[in-house]
Structures are given as structure tokens and as C-alpha cells.
Structure 1
Amino acid sequence: MKLSQFGYDLPEDRIAKYPSENRDESKLMVLHRKSGEIEHKLFKDVIDYFNEDDIFVMNDTKVFPARLYGNKEKTGARIEVFLLRELNPTTKLWDVLVDPARKIRIGNKLYFGEDESLVAEVIDNTTSRGRTLRFLYDGSYEEFREKLNELGETPLPRELNRDVEPEDEERYQTIFAANEGAVAAPVAGLHFSKHLLKRLEIKGVNVAHVTMHIGLGTFSPVEVEDLSKHKMDSEQAIITQEACDMVNKAIDQKKNVCAVGTTTMRTLESSVSSDGHLNPFNEWTNKFIFPPYEFSIANSMITNFHHPKSTLMMQAAAFAGYDFLKKAYDIALKEDYKFSTYGDAMLILD
């Protein structure tokens, strides 16, 4: 398929700048693949489509405050540093994005905090916008990470086009976030409230957790028309034996396995056995899913309404079917659904 096939007009006012008042009361569009039926619900109604011993698989990555603002030595120019990936905890090496990139060269030093207690030196130019920094800090590694957390801010996506506000620290994080390491939230999981999880538990629906630390791979733009030539940046994914056992049991019992979000789906599809079961996994994956694609583990999926030409939209199209997804997006635009990070959700069923 071609990149241009995933273009559509997304008006600015359809991008949700703020989350719904209650996590589980955003809109939910339900897509039935076999019948072609489309229903309009609230997210908390998702429970009606699952039964005892069905399973939700969720990405429990935790977003850390990855956006820092520093000043360049001598000139004092304000530089935004977006932490992407820790390369070496001992030497405090990080891959980062810098903005404006044209001002930053190898050897430059950046100072962070009012007291300039954190200093970083640019040691490599990895991409046109990317750099590798070595942080210079005398304290322990734990103190260094505390300093990053203190100086950093919640990395809200730029397309929201607003400053970070106090509620974002909580709302741009799933309630089941546990393993810190993501620079973007697994947004499909943002719709789950404690109350909804409790209702699922009472109904006997199981929940398994996997981890994918969302990085550049998920939100990098596709810049080639031929999708088969797009190379995803690798992201770290972890599937425990416990999660495998829970998912494989559901598969064997022919229960519903619902992947909550595109990152969860990519994680599951990165470690499939020859007989269609899930294997433990702790590696970096650059799995890129676009139509046509044969899915092995999940038979249902929850996802948001994504930006044009994004890898997230492409994966949703691979699962729903390209024509069906395009129809759903057309309806979503007509029916005032909200798009992007804080937007509404879609449940794709057989």
C-alpha cells in the first residue's frame, strides 16, 4: 500500500486538546468486521462485548518527564531537549532530539535548571535533528534520575498545541502504568478507569500486562510512498512468562484476546510461535504493521482515531480492513468524534 492512501483532512478543531472529564466516558465507536456494523457507545460500554475468561492485554509502560529546557553555553540560547533513549546508565549517555537543531553541534555544552546544576555535552550528531548527549553529574545514578524528573516536564505531543497543565501529569498516564521508560503514552489505555477495571474483574475478564517503551518508532513520520520501504525505529518490548501463560490459555480456550492499543499489538506480534501462541520476549523490536497483514494473537483491538499517514492509523487499517477503517474515519468526522492523544476510542471486533 501507499502512504498517500492514508491521507485525509483532519480539521484542527477535531484534535482533542484536553481529556474527557472522566476517563471511561469518551466516545467509543464499535466496528464489527464480519457484519460491517458500526455502533456508537461510551467507552465504559466496552465491558458489554467481553465475557468471563476473555482477556485484555495492556501496555504498562510509564511515561517519564522527557522534555527538558536548557541554555546553550556562551550564547544562552534556549534549547529544547527531548530525551529518547538511555544508551548507557554508567556514562549517562542519551539519544535526544534538540530544537532548534541547527544551533547545536558536537562539543557544545547545555545547562539545565536555574542553578545550572545539570550539564550535558553534545558528543555525536546521530540524525538531522537528533544528538547524543553525555550528562555531566557528580551524584549517584539515582540522584541523576531524580534530577531529570525534577527538571523535565510531561512530554505532551506537539499536535495538542498547548502548554502542559497540572492535570496532564496524571491524565497523560494510564492508571496501570508501572515500568518507566516511555516518552509517549499508550493512548488507548488512557480510557480505562479504576471503576471500569473493577467491573471487568467482577465479570471475570482477565488483564495481562506487557511493556513497550514508546519512543521515536511510534511517532516518527513515514516519509516514503512505498510503505514496504519504511523502517521503524526500534523500541524495547517485554513479555513475561506470566503474560504468555494467561494469553495462551485464552487462545486455547478460544476466548477473546483484546489488544489495548497499537503498541500492545506490535509487542504481541513481535513474539509469535509457529503454532500461533505467545512467547516470552525482552528485546528491541522495529515491527511495522500495515495492510495486508495476518494477525496471530489478538482477535479484537482498542485504539484511538489517529493522525493522517501515521503508522498508528496504518496498523488499525491492517486490523480492521483498509476500506472499513476509512469508512469509520469518515463517520467519525461527521459525528464529531475527537481525534489524537486525548481523543475518542474505537473497538474493533470480529
Structure 2
Amino acid sequence: MKLSDFDFDLPEGLIATRPARPRSSARLLLAEGGAMADRHVFDLPSILRPGDLLVLNDTKVIPARLTGSRTRQTGQGEVTAKIEVTLLEPAADGWRALAKPLRKLRAGEVIRFGEALSAEVAEIGEAELRLRFDATGDAFDAALGQVGAMPLPPYIAAQRAPDAQDHQDYQTVWAARQGAVAAPTASLHFDEDLLKALAARGVGFTHVTLHVGAGTFLPVKVEDVTTHRMHAEWGEVSPEAAAAITAAKAEGRRVIPVGTTALRLIESAAVADGRVEPFRQTTDIFIYPGHHFRVTDGLMTNFHLPKSTLLMLVSALMGAEKIKEIYAHAVNERYRFFSYGDASLLIP
């Protein structure tokens, strides 16, 4: 199974840099069995069945992108330099982070992110560093909200800088548990009116948590994709969520995760066909063609990058040839791609 098997041509003009407004007005490519139909996200109540269970990721994106400065005494006097920092995840006594330029930093230096927040460089590694901030808990969260920017994906950040609107756009309406540095983007299409309409239709919901990490944007660098090592992300399936998913499967109702993050988590927590147990740990599950899905009956997801692990995941669900047809249709019909783009509902 070669990396080149998951490549396709994508016109740059189809990469969305802003979401549809309202959220549920985004287009939806419905692929069910062998058929495809062009719909909209607001059509979901007429597409889904009463009793379907949507699995929603309730992670909350933190404003993890920081611009700071460090000051150092030199023979020519005091010199101040700009530092770009992206937080990755909490670590023992601090935060793991990326920094540009990393090589010019020294352990013990202080980086100031305005008046609200500063951090000491506690440790420097080959590709990242550990920062020890001068605030913790609620005080840290409040300060980060003042000085941080939303960590937009590289393909958006390359075209424009994050702004205040992204604090709302790059967050789901049900976000509850802080810790992600990337959004579960299929969920960005839902608004309160759509959730009410789905509930009225008899569609059920359960929440799980997967804190999406920056590793989701890492490219696959091996030609034999089966040798790729996935990054690890922390997730939790509560006893209530595990019971809801297991009950739905036992009753013959469909379980449809919203987003690849929710899918990867429930497949990690599955202990047998149709049965999920509580789960609270990291997962590095890599789903590619040949994977046996234990609980997933369908998937709502955005359109993914060429040669990405997420394209491999949807190829596993629908079949590689079918995904090629779906993506060719999406390109021809000028669907909008990636995090702020349109959606697909994939039901094998």
C-alpha cells in the first residue's frame, strides 16, 4: 500500500479560509452505498434516521498560538527578539511547545507574551521545548485567552493570519473540555438550530473527548503507509458514552461519529464487535484500508489533504476506489476543502 495511492490533484482555490455562514449552510456530499447526492448540512434531519446515534467530540480548542519576545544582554546592550510559540500539550511542570526560532533560545530565558503572561524556558529538545508559565489553572486560562490566537491549520495560516473571528469559528458549539490545539472540524458545521431539529427527528447524541494535537497535520513521510507511526492523543469515552454506543449497536441503531477524531476514539475503545468499554488514555490508532470497524456505521467528515492519514481512514471505511470517485466528484463540483470547508456523510 503506497503513499502515492492516496494522492489527488486539488486546485488551490478550493481550500477554504473561512467557514460557511451560517454554519449549517455548508454543502454536504452524501455518499451512501454506491450513490452520491449533493445536499447541505441543514438537510441532515431529513437524511438521518430516528434512532441514529451521533458521537460528538466535546474537546475545546485553546488559543495555543502565542507571539512573545525575549530580551538578552549582549556586548552591544539589551537586545529584544520576537518568538513565535505554539503550545502542544501540558507536561510535567509546564507545557510542551514548538518555537520559532528554537535554536536561539536558552534554558532559563524568559519569554514575555504581553503584560498578561510570561514563561521560563525550562528545557530545550531537538524539535520542541518545555515552558513553565507564571500562571496556572484559571489564571493561566484567562491570560491565554487574552494573548493567544487560535492555532489555525498550516494551509490556512499560510494564506492569512488568525483573527478574533476565529475564536468563534474554530470552536464547536458544544466545546466543553479544554485541551485541543486543533478543532474537530466536521463538528464546526453544527449550530443550535440544527441540533434541535435533529433531536426532534429522534436522532440521539453522545459525547466523547479526544484532545486533537498538532500531530494531526504531520505529513506521512514513508512510501509504505503500513509502516507509518501515528502520533498519540489523549481521549476519554465515559461509562455513559460507552453504554450508549453499545446499546445502540445491540438495538440495531446506527452509530455515526461526527469527525475522524470521534471515530478513532470509539474504535480505540471497542473491545468487540458492537461493544465499547470506558476508555481514558492516549490512542495512536492508525486506520487504513483493511481495518475492521467494530462499531462505526458511518462518518460525517470534511474533505482531507492528499496523502494524509485521514484520507487513508475514509478509504478504509468506504473503499479506496470509492473514495477516489467521491473526491473527484467533490473537486468537479467545487466543494470547499479542509478545516473550514464543506462536509461529507459517508455511509458504506
Please state which band the TM-score falls in when normalised by the shorter chain.
over 0.9
| Structure 2 counterpart of 1:206 | 204
Distance in 2 (alpha carbons) for counterparts of 1:168 and 1:331: 29
Deviations 1:300-341 (A, max 9, x none): 100101111111111111111111111111111111100011
User: CA contact under 8 A between 2:232 and 2:283: conserved in structure 1?
Assistant: yes
User: CA contact under 8 A between 1:183 and 1:214: conserved in structure 2?
Assistant: yes
Distance in 2 (alpha carbons) for counterparts of 1:117 and 1:245: 42
Distance in 1 (alpha carbons) for counterparts of 2:174 and 2:46: 21
Distance in 2 (alpha carbons) for counterparts of 1:267 and 1:121: 33
Distance in 2 (alpha carbons) for counterparts of 1:140 and 1:305: 37
| Structure 2 counterpart of 1:152 | 148
| Structure 2 counterpart of 1:95 | 96
CA positional deviation for 1:220: 1.6
| Structure 2 counterpart of 1:54 | 52
Q: Which amino acid aligns with 1:15?
A: I
**Aligned counterpart for 1:331 among listed residues 329, 332, 335:** 329
Distance in 2 (alpha carbons) for counterparts of 1:304 and 1:284: 24
Distance in 2 (alpha carbons) for counterparts of 1:270 and 1:217: 18
User: CA contact under 8 A between 1:217 and 1:286: conserved in structure 2?
Assistant: no
Percent identity of equivalent pairs: 39
CA positional deviation for 1:107: 4.4
**Aligned counterpart for 1:195 among listed residues 185, 193, 201:** 193
Task: Report SS of the residue matched to 2:175.
Answer: coil
Task: Report SS of the residue matched to 1:76.
Answer: strand
**Aligned counterpart for 1:176 among listed residues 162, 174, 177:** 174
Q: Is the counterpart of residue 6 in structure 1 residue 2 in structure 2?
A: no
Deviations 1:123-178 (A, max 9, x none): 131x43x222222x1x5533233222221111111211212232211111111111
RMSD value, Cα: 1.6
Distance in 1 (alpha carbons) for counterparts of 2:66 and 2:229: 27
Q: Is the counterpart of residue 82 in structure 1 residue 82 in structure 2?
A: no
For normalisation by structure 1, the TM-score amounts to 0.93
Q: Where does structure 1 lack aligned partners over 5 or more consecutive residues?
A: none
Matches within 5 A, 1:93-172: 93-113=94-114, 115=115, 117-125=117-125, 127-128=126-127, 130-135=128-133, 137=134, 141-160=137-156, 161-172=159-170
User: CA contact under 8 A between 2:273 and 2:294: conserved in structure 1?
Assistant: no
User: CA contact under 8 A between 2:24 and 2:42: conserved in structure 1?
Assistant: yes
Task: Report SS of the residue matched to 1:132.
Answer: strand
Task: Report SS of the residue matched to 2:89.
Answer: strand
- Bigger mean CA deviation after superposition, 337-346 or 42-51: 42-51
Distance in 2 (alpha carbons) for counterparts of 1:347 and 1:187: 13
Matches within 5 A, 1:232-243: 232-243=230-241
User: CA contact under 8 A between 1:28 and 1:344: conserved in structure 2?
Assistant: yes
